[in-house]
Amino acid sequence: MTLDLSNYKSVQTNLFVKMVVPGYATLTFSDYHKDYDIGGVTYQALGELLSVTNTSDELRASRKEITVVISGIPTGNISEILNNRIKGSELIVYRGFFDPDTGELLPIVGNPAGKFHGVVSNYEIADDLSMGDDTGEITIALNVTSVVELLNNKVSGRRTNPIDFPNEASMDRVSALAKSNFNFGAPQ
């Protein structure tokens, strides 16, 4: 879906991230300067503590990966990160288009627009400790694989085990042919 922004002389964009951690919670956060409600869901403002790598606009869905970095996590929250299944979490990134004068979403159908949909394939945790005052902060970098890549890696097919087809006579030769070597086109 293409958004028509031709009627606006200036537009502000912000990213909104929704992450579904299985067995824990749905986390919503953004790089907007204040908490913002979209469709009944409040996205927590992380401001500059959130960064998302750039994506390219392509006509076809691509197999790209992105990295979502969250900084400033208090050291006391590290156990929540380590004790939950971050890998495999679904992550969706939306881009919201705002009027810079009012700070409100532009009244356009499809705003905020979907930017990326994927699954967390890996993550990295880095800590920055202040030795003098025993404080510190954690940064987590989430590597997110596109759902297009996941679909490309999906294996599909039909099982040919005779036990799966007990009344099918054509399956009687499967076990005899299973370890056969066929050299089609080879000289005899």
DSSP 69-130: EEEEEEGGGHHHHHTS--TT-EEEEEEEEE-TTT-SB---TT-SEEEEEEEEEEEEEEEEEE
Model confidence over 121-153: pLDDT tens digits? 999 998 877 777 767 778 999 999 988 766 666
| pTM confidence score | 0.72
Residues 116 and 93: beta-carbon distance below 8 Å: yes
Angle at 83 between CA 79 and CA 88, to 5 degrees: 130
Model confidence over 65-109: pLDDT tens digits? 889 999 888 777 778 888 888 999 999 999 999 999 888 899 888
